[in-house]
A = this chain, B = another copy of it.
């Protein structure tokens, strides 16, 4: 299987089976906008729910807010986005196509050009004689292009506003009230899930580089003098994470460094306990979601790669078929944003901590829901080479968790199965009832969308009160008493029991 083809296969399943499709597809679509269909939405909700449980609900010091998507210019003037949130673009002199300068370079000559100044980009284009990807025409000089979408609020002579390019700014501009809610005591974190928008010059790679996306962010405010006094440090100290240090990047690396949080802090590979906490819990979260830990790592980004507000970024990158892809960014934003907004608005953002007045520092994990979802799709995709494909989703992320099939429609089998399906739903499982087509075809359809377990009701079910459970990954089957079904599905779904523990496999 070539690399391109894996993404294409996944796109094909996504389109056909209700995961994801281009927005406004019947009108030809617009690059970088997607719709999440029924199954994609269920998965997205599961990712958000798991993140919320781990990072918000389980932590007494973290609360979630829901801020406005459209914000006035003053916010982005202060935050620096109006001046600095931009990418270099080059235009073809002949066909007028636009390209992101660093990308047309890396596509052509494999030079990492992200974050380089315009003159250097121009020089690389010239030195390597790089041409338009569409018509082979000459390229004009690189220019900066601001990535924010602008909209006017009000009728005549309204005010300029922008769609937020990150959810974070809502939190910074509302810091005073939020600190008040937390009784002005550090540390505390404010979380947010929501849409963010970036007018990407060249959206690409399906849902990986898009113009509208869902972010899950936390701004964790702490006293920099206490950056190594995280409340939950003891719980994460021994967790192992994969790291790619700056030193490794300079020397060239093939395999990330596997290291405990404690050792990472000691060796200064991880800057402080707040960053360490997020790196540890993100590692745990991705594993639960079905992304094996040997395919992702935290890379300490180079200075020129990091955003304008960052004093250190640790990107969680996944080894995908199209290359290494950031799916989570962890940024040390220091007091950059709070200072900017305090100054621009004339508001005091100082908090009293240990009898001194400080503006807190910020550690920010920023997770892209769509990118995480894509990584799950790719890492769970299975193909037996004979036309049978499936997603080996763990139940934690499977959009549907169990399917119920009557062998036939007649003789009361359908009614029996339908009732069973509703019992499973009432017990909280995402159950799917399917009565049409041959049983083999129903299995194939269920496998293709990654339903972990199929329950079949046959004539013996009516006679003996037992049902068949089929395991998606092994295609093996067991027979269990119907009254045990919920418990068995529960234990299997939560990984508390293995399939074979419930009896012999059927022939």
Q: What residue of chain B has the Cβ atom nearest to residue A15's Cβ?
A: B177
Which residue of B64, B69, B156, B212 contacts A41 across the interface (Cβ within 8 Å)?
B64
Contact assessment for B23 and A176 in the assembled complex, using a CB-CB cutoff below 8 Å: no
Contact with B along A67-80 (1 / 0, CB 8 A): 11111101100100
B30 contacts A159, CB within 8 Å? yes
Task: Answer whether residue A155 sits at the interface, using C-beta atoms and an 8 A cutoff.
Answer: yes
Q: Check if A153 is an interface residue, CB within 8 A of chain B.
A: yes
Of B98, B151, B214, which one neighbours A163 at CB under 8 angstroms? B151
Complex: A201 Cα to B74 Cα, angstroms = 21
> Which of chain B's residues have a CB closer than 8 A to the CB of A170?
23, 35
Bitwise interface map of A from 19 to 43 toward B, beta carbon under 8 Å scored 1, else 0: 0010111111011111111101110
Which residues of chain B have C-beta atoms less than 8 A from A75's C-beta?
24, 27
Answer yes or no: A44 CB below 8 A from chain B CBs: yes
Q: Complex Cα distance A98/B157, Å?
A: 10
**Distance between A138 CB and nearest chain B CB, rounded to angstroms:** 17
**Count of A residues near B, CB < 8 Å?**
84
The answer, yes or no, to whether A500 is at the interface (CB within 8 Å) is no
Which chain B positions have C-beta within 8 A of A197? 69-70
Partner of A26, one of B150, B183, B199, B341: B341
Question: Quick check: B159 and A23 within 8 Å, CB to CB?
Answer: no
Question: In the complex, what distance in Å separates the CA atom of A447 from the CA atom of B194?
Answer: 30
Please give, as numbers and ranges, the residues of chain B lying within 8 Å of A45 by CB-CB distance.
64
Instruction: Give Cα distance in the complex from A64 to B35, angstroms.
Output: 11
Q: Is A195 an interface residue (CB 8 A)?
A: yes
Q: Which residues of B contact A64 (CB under 8 A)?
A: 38, 41-42, 45
Given A26-B347, A74-B24, A341-B26; A35-B433 close (CB under 8 Å): no
Please give the distance in Å from A158's CB to the nearest CB on chain B: 8
* Given contact pairs A30-B72, A64-B38, A25 touches B89 in the complex (Cβ within 8 A): no
User: Does A60 make an interface contact (CB < 8 A)?
Assistant: yes
A152 adjacent to chain B (CB < 8 Å) = yes
List B contacts of A344 (CB < 8 A). Answer: 27
Given contacts A155-B201, A211-B153, contact A25 B65 (CB under 8 A): no
**If A149-B70, A151-B149, A153-B211 touch, does A25 touch B201 (CB 8 Å cutoff)?**
no
Evaluate contact between A163 and B18: CB separation under 8 angstroms. Answer: no
A27 near B153: Cβ-Cβ < 8 Å: no
Q: Does A173 contact B (CB under 8 A)?
A: yes
Could you say which residues of chain B place their CB within 8 Å of the CB of A57?
Answer: 425
Contact check, B151 vs A89: say whether CB atoms are below 8 A apart. Answer: no
Whether A98 lies near B177 (C-beta < 8 A) is no
Answer yes or no: A306 CB below 8 A from chain B CBs: no
Pick from B26, B151, B174, B195: contact of A345, CB under 8 Å: B26
Could you tell me if A67 and B149 are in contact, using CB atoms closer than 8 angstroms? Answer: no
Counting chain B CB atoms within 10 Å of each CB, the highest count among A17, A65, A155, A156 belongs to A155
| Contacting pair A65 B212 (CB below 8 A) | no
Complex interface residues of chain A between 304 and 343 (CB less than 8 A to chain B): 341
A257 sits at the interface (CB 8 A): no
Q: Smallest CB–CB gap between A414 and chain B, Å?
A: 13
A161-B30 contact in complex given A67-B36, A150-B152, A181-B37, C-beta closer than 8 Å: yes
A463 smallest CB distance to B (angstroms): 27
- By the criterion CB–CB under 8 Å, are A24 and B163 in contact? no
Residues of B within 8 A of A459 (CB): none
Q: What 7 pairs across the A-B complex have the smallest Cβ distances? A: A38-B63, A18-B181, A23-B68, A26-B345, A27-B74, A36-B66, A149-B151
- Sample of 22 A–B contacts (CB below 8 Å): A18-B63, A18-B178, A18-B181, A23-B67, A24-B173, A25-B177, A27-B345, A30-B161, A32-B153, A35-B65, A35-B174, A37-B181, A38-B63, A44-B66, A45-B64, A69-B197, A70-B211, A98-B156, A151-B151, A153-B199, A155-B199, A163-B163
Seen from chain A, the residues whose Cβ lies within 8 Å of a Cβ on chain B are 15-18, 21, 23-28, 30-38, 40-42, 44-45, 57-58, 60, 63-72, 74-75, 78, 89, 91, 96, 98, 145, 149-159, 161, 163, 170, 173-174, 176-178, 180-181, 183, 190, 194-195, 197, 199, 201, 211-212, 214, 341, 344-345, 347, 425, 433, 436
Q: A23-B71, A91-B156, A153-B199 are in contact. List 7 more A-B contacts (CB 8 A).
A: A18-B178, A24-B71, A24-B72, A25-B174, A31-B154, A58-B425, A69-B212
